[in-house]
Structure 1
Amino acid sequence: MDRIPQEILDRIVSYITLQPGNDTSFRLSPFSTLSLDWQRAIEQQTFRYLHVTGDDLGNLGDIVVNQRRVYLRHLRLQVNFPDYDDELSNKYETDDERCANNALAMTSLKRLLAVLSTWGPDSGSELSLQLSFRSPGDRKKSLRWGGILEKRYEYSFVTLNGVDECAEAPCVTRFYAECDYRARRIEPRSLYNLMSRFPGAKSAGWYTVEPGVFTLLRQELHDRFIMAVESGSHCMPPILDVEIEGPEYDYDHNLPNLITPYTYDRFSSAFRQLSLGLTNFTFKGIADHSLLWPSPGQSLEPRWQNLVYLEVQLSLQSPSGKWYFRNADSQVGDVPRPPEAPVYRPPGYYDTKDEIEAAIAYERAFEKPDSDSGYPCPAPRDQPNEELMVPLFTAFARALGAMPSLKLAHIEFPNQDLDITFFLSYALPGRVTTYESYLREEERPLPTTPRLLAHTWDWRMDEDLEGMFRRAGAAVHGVETAVRYLPPTPGCPL
């Protein structure tokens, strides 16, 4: 057995599939006692992915030593918040509970980073770190009409105060927040501040949600993030994926205006600032044109010197309270909602029963009816709102002309159960667009000119806007961008 070369033994062990709970399965760990070669081969698999909790952090530094640090590729820290019973599952978390959870989260984070800081940037391999915050009671749900529709922590956000006091962990090359629906969400400001602890990070994945229809809390979370970006100087990793899940409004609902007294969305603008030094930027959420280009007089013209890949997936909602699309047969929901009086916070942010019930009643006013309730579903919004679409695409065209390294760019909206999404897809010579990659045959020669494929249904850009896209290609590559409109039906030949 000792005659088997280490490389062959490593490969044999790598083919063994672990299937916990299966009667025919077996665990690898006992075989590590056969020899040092077997131990090395097995530990390459067993230490590739580690899932630890806050209680495990005291032993982490003693267990993951020497070559095990090289084997370790994925580390998941799950911080377990206090459990709760069925009675508490029908009540929203209070300020005291949120503060206690945040303190526990910070304690665990500091302990983890204290261990990782000793590993240094030369541990030997790339390390992906995932943070997860949960409670054993989170698996319980209350679906009764008089209580919480989904989770008691629906409007609770993990807030990490004092991140700058934690040790740096240069060994972490990728950081991402858990996006499982059962996990607690980290507020945007904390996600941003966390990046200062990972100076060796090459990529990051941020996932969070908006606090439903409670616009006051939404604005507070946005403002904290904006202030952190404007006052901070954290270096972003070259690759940044951002997904911010927005509240669900029916298509006939009036949306809140979140940009007043400004003429642009400062939240979108902050993400544009973060994107300037990136090579890959993906954004999914609610944003306006300032995600791609500043408003007049807002700041100097940006330049994305190193950006290679850009993907933007926008909600139909805009921060200004207007929809990106209209319904040709109805004007319902097209006017921004006037400010609420009174302005409600989520139910878990009040102390008295009357305030909590008033907040719950406010939330229910925006609930979507069940599919079998007999209420007709609002018609899809299938007509672009030029008031928003033209500034957005103008910003997109200007940004393309300031991205000398760009290869691919794509901007789209959800399809609303229509045939195909509404999108613009841009590619440079020698590349195929996101749309073409699904239809193109490999043996066909690669295009030699910049191309903009537009699937905008029956809507067309005016000559001035088309000209901006054409000139964007000429400015960077000396060849005008070819603008092509795709027919409304999917699967068209290219």
Structure 2
Amino acid sequence: MNNLPQELVERVCGLLTRDDLKNTLTLSRSFQYASERASGVYTTFDLKSSNIKEFTKLYAGRRWAYLRHVRYQIHIPSYDATAADEEHLAKHNCRESSQELQEKDQLFTEQIKSLFDSIKALEGNSSEGKLQLTIYAPIREVHESCSHRKCISWRLHLLSPESLPRLGSVRALRIEDPGIVYPLEDNKSLLKVDLRAIVDLAAKFPRLEYLGCKLFAGSGWTPYYNSEAARTYSRDCDRPGPLRDTRLDFAKAIENATLPSTLREAQLDFLWPMSSAERIDHDEQLPNLAGANTYDPFSSSLRSLSHGLRRLELKAVADASLLWPSDGSVSYPNLESICILFHMSTPAGRWYFGGPDGLGHDAEGFSVNEGSYPPLEDTTDDEALDEEVDDDGLNIEVVNSKQFRVRPNDDVLSPFLTAFAKAASEMPKLKEACLWSPLRWQAGDSYGNSDEMGKDLSKWPDRPLAWGITYIAPQTFGFHFEGQHFSHSRQLFWTTGPWRPSDELHDLFGRIGDQSTELLQYWGLDNYGRDKLPLREVFDQFQIYGRRHPACAWPVDKSFIVHKTLQ
């Protein structure tokens, strides 16, 4: 066995099952190495602060070459009010103090530093490897405390990111919320990661090819509870002050960072989970997250990030500066695939859609001020609310919010569509592009006979709906629909219900792609009614990184890919 060529040994092991590979481990050293590699046992490691030594020992030798995916779970110790001293509880039974926030930031930073140091030690001086690194935000256990302690909108910050070593082996980075948490129903709290950490970490990987995230970054998206007490608690999960700050910090980080020139793929989901993002009540007054700016800095920074990409899949609350600057122009020399899911609300607190009869078209965002942040000490209102819940209990029955925004608000939407059309016309390699928004119709008392009106909007008004525009280049299987959407001509699909663009906007969309090639345009879909809104499943399949589009090597773990319809 020792005399067999290594290439032959590798081929033999590649044909064996995992059970058979257990038997070849002891045949020879050549078979041991080949069996370990072929088994895939060492390709993924679930890492946390408690098993870093085990990780380092396991991959210190040859197995480093087998490693492809490190999943790292951040841990913040549980909070138990019975363990806090009385002096602290006098001011901070409900609210976290600035010292507690700093301690959480320090714990978060220490664990990230430990992760980086461990990978750097395994790299040595070679920087060899092709890793995907996934970092999960912590879910904290909260016991023997009021609900204020579980409803947190403050962010976890990465301190002194410049002190982290550069890691040449990491080619893909994802930062994720690990699961959906309902703090009023569970003794848990999802601790949100500051969005700027995405940029600070990405800048530390000089050979990064793929950047992804799946993070809660909304406003007004908490469940609409039946009781005022539950609604008051839940609003602390989503205060606009910390949300505005984290968007601005992300923009500042992009402005000052030098991202790797190798970055070609981005899959950024700032609307996770979609069930929360679409839960918003359409009568809700929203915060102005852009402030006094004439454009949204967060949207503009995403445009800067996407300049050199080949593929971009984005879900966000954004404005026109996401695609086109308010002054000047921009080009996208490499972009081939782009799919943007935009929320129906804007960063300035306005809405891209209104009611069928104009209801809600003129809504404006409110200013974010000092009152938009959680207090750092208990207030008399906190105490009164806790006493009320202690006496009467907490009703966490969720009621349906009013959802009537299904018609484009041209004053707000047209500039966004104009920016998209201009940007797409500056993408010489563009093969596929999609801009869409998920919609819901559950109007309740907003309209006299909402059910009958809903049937005019869609064949199935009580199911998730969508509005969007899709472009497919000639001789392209658009969004990898095998056998469909293939043509020698350019194609535009206007899945927009009865809405039609102005002549000027229509002309801009006609400039996408090679204008010497015929442009075919389709208005509506026969299966759903040409002038009616389609079901969302039409667009749910337009996932650049889903099973229908295997061109990208990332992510390596298919658990990231969700095929089911967004609910």
TM-score bin, normalised by smaller chain: 0.7 to 0.9
CA apart distance, 1:400: 1.0
Q: Which residue of 2 aligns with 1:147?
A: 147
1:343 is paired with a residue whose SS is helix
Distance across 2 between alignment mates of 1:327 and 1:265? 25
Q: Kindly tell me: are residues 327 and 168 of structure 1, through their superposed partners in 2, closer, same or farther at Cα, counting changes over 3 Å? A: same
Unaligned runs of 5+ in 2: 85-92, 182-189, 220-237, 388-394, 442-460, 531-567
Which letter maps to 2:512? A
Amino acid at match of 1:464: E
Q: Counterpart of 1:117 in 2: which secondary structure?
A: helix
What's the secondary structure of 1:471's corresponding residue?
coil
From 102, 126, 131, the counterpart of 1:127: 131
In structure 2, C-alpha distance between the alignment counterparts of 1:29 and 1:357, rounded to whole Å = 62
Question: For 1:72-100, what per-residue CA distance to the aligned partner results, in whole angstroms no more than 9, with x for missing partners?
Answer: 11111223221233768995544333322
Alpha-carbon distance in 1 for matches of 2:281, 2:520: 37
Q: SS at 1:161's partner residue? A: coil
Confirm or deny that 1:239 pairs with 2:265: yes
Distance 1:469 1:162, change over 3 A: same
**Shift of residue 53 of structure 1?**
1.3
Contact persistence 1:164–1:196 (CA under 8 A): no
Give CA deviations for 1:77-125 in whole Å, capped at 9, x if unaligned: 2232212337689955443333222212222222222232341696665
Task: Provide the secondary structure at the position in 2 that maps to 1:137.
Answer: strand
In the alignment, what sits opposite 2:315? 284
| Structure 2 residue corresponding to 1:210, chosen from 203, 207, 217 | 217
Distance 1:10 1:197, change over 3 A: same
TM-score, scaled relative to structure 1: 0.81
In structure 2, the partner of 1:219 is 244
Q: 1:415 to 1:49 in 2, by over 3 A?
A: same
1:227 is aligned with what amino acid? Answer: K
Gaps of 5+ in 1: 17-27, 362-367
The match for 1:456 among 496, 512, 522 is: 496
- Shift, 1:214, TM fit: 1.9
Amino acid in the other structure paired with 1:147? S
Of 87, 103, 112, the match for 1:100 = 103
Give the one of 395, 404, 411 matched to 1:387: 411
Q: Deviations over 1:391-439 (max 9, x none)?
A: 11111110011111111111110132646410111111111334xx55x
Q: Does residue 507 of structure 2 align to residue 467 of structure 1?
A: yes
Q: Which residue of 1 aligns with 2:474?
A: 429
- Aligned pair in 2 of structure 1 residues 192, 141: CA closer, same or farther (>3 Å)? farther
The whole-number CA distance in structure 1 between the counterparts of 2:127 and 2:11 is 21
User: Is the contact between residue 127 and residue 172 of structure 1 (CA under 8 Å) also seen in structure 2?
Assistant: yes
- Aligned residue in 1 for 2:372: 344
Distance 2:476 2:353 in 1: 30
The equivalent residue for 1:21 is none
Q: How does 1:308-457 map to 2 (within 5 A)?
A: 308-329=336-357, 331-332=359-360, 334-339=362-367, 343-346=371-374, 349-354=375-380, 356=382, 370=397, 377-416=401-440, 418=461, 420-434=465-479, 441=483, 446-457=486-497
How far the C-alpha of 1:291 sits from its partner, in A, is 0.6
Change (3 A) 1:114 1:369: closer
Q: Distance in 2 between matches of 1:192 and 1:135?
A: 22
Tell me the equivalent position of 1:485: 523
Structure 1 position 370, deviation (Å)? 4.5
Distance 1:352 1:54, change over 3 A: same
Q: Does 1:191 align with 2:198?
A: yes
- The range that moved more, 301-310 or 6-15, is 6-15
Q: Structure 2 length as normaliser, TM-score? A: 0.71
Identity over aligned pairs, percent: 22
Correspondence for 1:272 among 293, 298, 303: 303
SS for the counterpart of 2:40 is helix
Partner of 1:170: 168
Contact 1:472/1:481 (8 A) holds in 2:
no
- Give the superposition deviation at 1:286: 0.4
Q: Check whether the contact 1:308–1:407 (CA below 8 A) recurs between aligned residues.
A: yes
TM superposition shift of 1:10: 4.1
Residue 266 to residue 79, structure 1, CA distance change in 2 (3 Å): closer
> Aligned partners of 1:62, 1:424: CA distance in 2, in Å?
52
Report the Cα distance in structure 1 between the residues aligned to 2:304 and 2:73, rounded to whole angstroms. 31
d(CA) in 2 for partners of 1:360 and 1:258?
Answer: 30
Pick from 52, 75, 78 the counterpart of residue 57 of structure 1: 52
